[in-house]
Amino acid sequence: MKNMTFAMIKPDAVRNRNTGKIYDRILTSGFSIVSAKLLRMTKSQAEGFYDVHSERPFFGELTEFMSSGPCMVLALKKENAVEEWRKTIGATNPDEAETGSIRKDFATSIGENAVHGSDSDENAKKEIGFFFSESELIANK
Ligand code: UDP
Ligand code: MG
């Protein structure tokens, strides 16, 4: 069954003019875009989104970065969307990311790593709900 995951093109990738190239990867990897928008998170929105990492040493830097400029948020659809999108983006650290993965090709560091992907179906649902209302998701569900 096709299901959804949540993806983000992070501020570094938008700033570096890689949005179009990453969109192309999304589509050629077989994902459908259910919904997408460009927005800039406030610091407190970024803190809310990355709440699970609030005790980690990089939390301040991460939420500064994520609120530093616009990012593209997307709801994506495919068979096994969560796992497939994690494979497409590659490891968190670009030095460890697989050849051909988005992070290998577009990330500049472990922090500024171009894209986000949900790590479970449960978190995908939560993260999609963080940014999209039901009416924004119906077009291509
Ligand atoms: N991050 C960081 N330093 C680290 C680990 C993670 O700045 O040592 C940032 C990075 O932007 C990463 C995000 O925090 O994408 C969330 O971390 P997570 O371990 O959930 O990695 P992801 O799920 O994004 O691969
Ligand atoms: Mg994660």
Predicted pLDDT of residue 26: 98
Predicted pLDDT of residue 39: 98
Ligand 1 atom, smallest distance to 61 CA:
7
Predicted pLDDT of residue 72: 98
Predicted pLDDT of residue 139: 73
Number of domains observed in the structure of the chain: 1
Ligand 1 atom, smallest distance to 91 CA:
25
What residue owns the CA closest to ligand 1's atom 25? Answer: 92
Those residues of the chain that have pLDDT short of 70 are 1, 141
Q: What is the pTM of this model?
A: 0.97
Give the tens place of pLDDT for each residue, 63-82. 999 999 999 999 999 999 99
Buried b / exposed e along 69-100 (16+ C-beta atoms within 10 A) = eebbbbbbbbeebbebbbebbbbeebeebeee
Predicted pLDDT of residue 1: 66
Predicted pLDDT of residue 141: 63
Ligand 1: centre distance to CA 135 (Å)? 30
Predicted pLDDT of residue 138: 84
Q: Which of 102, 119, 135, 122 has the alpha carbon at shortest distance from 35?
A: 135
Predicted pLDDT of residue 22: 98
Q: Indicate which CATH number applies to the domain containing 130.
A: 3.30.70.141
Predicted pLDDT of residue 125: 97
List active site positions.
116
What residue owns the CA closest to ligand 1's atom 9? Answer: 111
Q: Which domain holds residue 30?
A: 4-140
